[in-house]
Amino acid sequence: MAQQAAEHTHDTDLLIVGAGPTGLFATYYAGFRGMRVAVVDSLPELGGQITAMYPEKQILDVAGFPSVKGRDLVEGLVEQAGTAHPAYFLDRTASTLTEDDDGVTVGLDDGTAIRAKAVLITAGIGKFSPRPLPAGDGWLGRGLEFFVPSFAPYAGKDVVIVGGGDSAFDWALHLEPVARSVTVVHRRDAFRAHQRTVDAVRASSVEIVTKAEVSALKGNGVLESVDITVDGETVTRPAQAVVAALGFVADLGPLQQWGIEVEKRHVVVDSSMRTNLPRVFAAGDVTEYPGKVRLIAVGFGEAATAVNNAAVVIDPSAHVFPGHSSEGS
């Protein structure tokens, strides 16, 4: 999808901040409600965390899909969102928000100002950066990576994955038939990953080394081996690739300065997905309310709820309930 060139001011009905699954579905739904829509995201590509972190992962909790690859889900959402003819502002950060009686103006970090009648925040976990591997200093891009967007580069390699969460075990499971060997190294003997995935990895040829840490990466220009320290003793293993799946640090960035009520890095909303600011709504993983469940499927429903309630703010003569999409005009 082509990125719109920087311009001084852009006028729209609804500005969506965040181009992950929830933001993309909200874009489609805004078009369905007849709105002009603009979308801003700090990443250079559409799809949010899925595109950046696990495009090859099979997603199992999206209605209508017994299993769908992350990349395929994003492609479908982008095609669906395209029916709204949105203006995309990618690789840019929504920095400032000012309000007046007729709407809001959001300033981007490149100087662009977007004038909107309402804003919908679908920023997920916000801007994120991976936690570093202490032993990996200087090795990024030379054998060390934080994400596995494609499995093909690991074919025939000895791969060491550091971490005990869902990403570590998902990548281990998917790389096992591709790589020459896969070893998971974790500092504890308990894992944060889903038990079913852990059981699948245990049943595979993947070696799991616990109560251990990768203490050194070695090689002459390119990665050749790693040192793994277990109970005070160090062993050396061949490795042409190390994946540091140690999680990431995330924050809402400039959004926290907009005057929005925030609780533990999440935006507080009511049942209409409205924040404490009258023209600002939120949906998806970024939101917080009693009983909140952070799933893609939940985000889709919240997107529709937010857009339908924003429709009345944008046009007071509109109705919250739009009718069913299956009904004829």
- pLDDT tens string 156-190: 999 999 999 988 998 999 999 999 999 999 999 99
C-beta of residue 213 within 8 angstroms of C-beta of residue 187 = yes
C-beta of residue 281 within 8 angstroms of C-beta of residue 118 = yes
The total of structural domains in the chain comes to 2
Is residue 285 part of an annotated ligand binding site?
yes
Is residue 12 part of an annotated ligand binding site?
no
Is residue 49 part of an annotated ligand binding site?
yes
Place of tokens 């025939």: 156
Examine the domain organization and report whether 93 and 185 are in the same domain.
Answer: no
Burial class of residue 60 in the structure, from the number of CB atoms within 10 Å of its CB (0-12 exposed, 13-18 middle, 19+ buried): exposed
Examine the domain organization and report whether 265 and 239 are in the same domain.
Answer: no
For 294, the domain range is 9-128+249-314
Is residue 154 part of an annotated ligand binding site?
no
What integer pLDDT is reported at residue 231 of this predicted model? 87
Is residue 58 part of an annotated ligand binding site?
no
Examine the domain organization and report whether 14 and 110 are in the same domain.
Answer: yes
Is residue 189 part of an annotated ligand binding site?
no
Whole-model pTM: value is: 0.75
Collect the ranges in the chain with pLDDT lower than 70.
1-7, 128, 325-329
Phi, psi for residue 74 in degrees, rounded to 5: -65, -45
Examine the domain organization and report whether 111 and 87 are in the same domain.
Answer: yes
- Domain end residue (candidates: 244, 265, 281): 244
What integer pLDDT is reported at residue 327 of this predicted model? 64
Examine the domain organization and report whether 209 and 268 are in the same domain.
Answer: no
Examine the domain organization and report whether 42 and 124 are in the same domain.
Answer: yes
Helix, strand, coil share of the chain (percent; to 5): 25, 30, 45
- Is 279 contained in some domain? yes
Examine the domain organization and report whether 32 and 61 are in the same domain.
Answer: yes
Examine the domain organization and report whether 124 and 258 are in the same domain.
Answer: yes
3-state secondary structure of 75: helix
- Is 297 contained in some domain? yes
- Domain end residue (candidates: 244, 277, 304): 244
What integer pLDDT is reported at residue 51 of this predicted model? 81
Examine the domain organization and report whether 43 and 61 are in the same domain.
Answer: yes
- Is 202 contained in some domain? yes
Is residue 128 part of an annotated ligand binding site?
yes
> What b/e string do you get for 268-296 counting C-beta neighbours within 10 Å, with b at 16 or more?
bbeeebbbebebbbbbbbbbbeeeeeeeb
Kindly report the CATH number assigned to the domain that includes residue 208.
3.50.50.60
- Is 173 contained in some domain? yes
Is residue 229 part of an annotated ligand binding site?
no
- Domain end residue (candidates: 183, 217, 244): 244
What integer pLDDT is reported at residue 5 of this predicted model? 46
Burial class of residue 65 in the structure, from the number of CB atoms within 10 Å of its CB (0-12 exposed, 13-18 middle, 19+ buried): middle
Examine the domain organization and report whether 27 and 160 are in the same domain.
Answer: no
Place of tokens 């999808």: 1
